[in-house]
Amino acid sequence: MNYTLHQLMIFQKITETKSITKAAEELHLTQPAVSIQLKNLQDQFDIPLTEIVGRKLVVTDFGWEIASAIEKIIEEVQGINYKTAAFKGLMSGKLKISVVSTGKYVMPYFLSSFLQEHPEVDLKLDVTNKAKVLESLSANEVDFALVSILPEQMQVDGVKLMPNQLFLVGNRDFIFKNNEYDEGFLEELTLIYREEGSGTRLSMEKYLSSKNVSIRKKIELTSNEAVKQAVLAGMGCSIMPLIGIKDEIKSGELKIIPMEGFPLNTQWNLIYLRGRKFSPVAKMYLNYLIEHKDELIRKHFAWNL
């Protein structure tokens, strides 16, 4: 066996993207170069790593086994790099954070300057829904999780960051007939929901339940971006975090509908398992965040204060 680390890394990216084209794009290589490296790796095994079904590349069961082994190999190589950097006096390692989907508008601003100060630190940032974020945190797969609603069944500590405000919004064609609407108005709307497991959806449902509102027509979509595009297109209205729609509100593409009891308010928190033993990088980032969070909020989120 004479496969190279380069071939293994390319195959790992192929399994992640399930596409030679996408793997090539993410690795900044040409598609033929990726195909050649995949062939060279495949030539060293008697069992197929991938198959073409229709026009789609499919990783075989054996291919997934190899991919799992490759992940461990690459982690060991990264460990060597981190130790080398440490001997040079540089702080290095991997920082792993899971973020609820709306948090993609928040978390980068609390990471950028830290990563600039510590270029040897690698970041793994997973953006998904609340249920999967908490699953990753519970399984101890990540150092931190960014959520807007604290979990009730998990022992966590964390750092409070900033408010998360949710408003009822419609598109530019929404005509205001009242200066302010009561909760009964929601029953007249087609309301666009996030999927089950979303923190935004949970906030919506808690509000609707507390007001005994029964929604007659609803649409369910699986991302904040999809919800925003649906509202922009006039498919209905939705309760959305301001942080993800502020540009559209400013341009007039979306309108905040004045509702009694709004905005709904939650709190962005970066949380971690209580009693977790941090890596040096995670501990350094936690200290950095505690020290600099107020400065970063004033710099990047003054409009939200």
Instruction: Looking at the structure, tell me whether residues 21 and 169 fall in a common domain.
Output: no
Instruction: Looking at the structure, tell me whether residues 198 and 258 fall in a common domain.
Output: yes
**Arithmetic mean of pLDDT, 132-150:** 91
- pLDDT tens for residues 263-276? 999 999 999 999 88
Instruction: Looking at the structure, tell me whether residues 186 and 255 fall in a common domain.
Output: yes
Instruction: Looking at the structure, tell me whether residues 208 and 243 fall in a common domain.
Output: yes
Instruction: Looking at the structure, tell me whether residues 243 and 171 fall in a common domain.
Output: yes
Q: What is the pLDDT of residue 81?
A: 65
Domain, as residue range, for 45:
5-86
Instruction: Looking at the structure, tell me whether residues 20 and 42 fall in a common domain.
Output: yes
Instruction: Looking at the structure, tell me whether residues 53 and 185 fall in a common domain.
Output: no
Mean pLDDT estimate for the chain: 88
**Arithmetic mean of pLDDT, 108-133:** 89
Residue 105 has pLDDT above 80, yes or no: yes
Give me 35's structure tokens: 């195909």
Instruction: Looking at the structure, tell me whether residues 122 and 63 fall in a common domain.
Output: no
CATH number at residue 235: 3.40.190.290
Q: Is 193 helix (H, G, I), strand (E, B) or coil?
A: strand
Instruction: Looking at the structure, tell me whether residues 139 and 288 fall in a common domain.
Output: yes
Q: What is the pLDDT of residue 27?
A: 87
Percent of the chain scoring above 90 in pLDDT: 51
CATH number at residue 117: 3.40.190.10
Give the phi and the psi of residue 245 in degrees, each rounded to 5. Answer: -130, 10
Last residue of a domain, one of 86, 115, 133: 86
Residue 134, C-beta contacts closer than 8 angstroms, at least 6 positions apart: 145, 147, 151, 154
Percent of the chain scoring above 70 in pLDDT: 94
- DSSP classification of residue 263: S
Instruction: Looking at the structure, tell me whether residues 167 and 261 fall in a common domain.
Output: yes
Give the phi and the psi of residue 213 in degrees, each rounded to 5. Answer: -90, 130
**How far apart (Å, rounded) are the C-alpha atoms in residues 161 and 241?**
15
- pLDDT tens for residues 279-295? 888 888 999 999 999 99
Instruction: Looking at the structure, tell me whether residues 261 and 167 fall in a common domain.
Output: yes
Q: What is the dihedral of CA 117, 119, 120, 122, to 10 degrees?
A: 110
Give me 129's structure tokens: 């829904």
Higher pLDDT, 76 or 64: 64
Structural domains in the chain (count): 3
- pLDDT tens for residues 162-204? 999 999 999 999 888 888 899 889 998 999 998 888 888 889 9
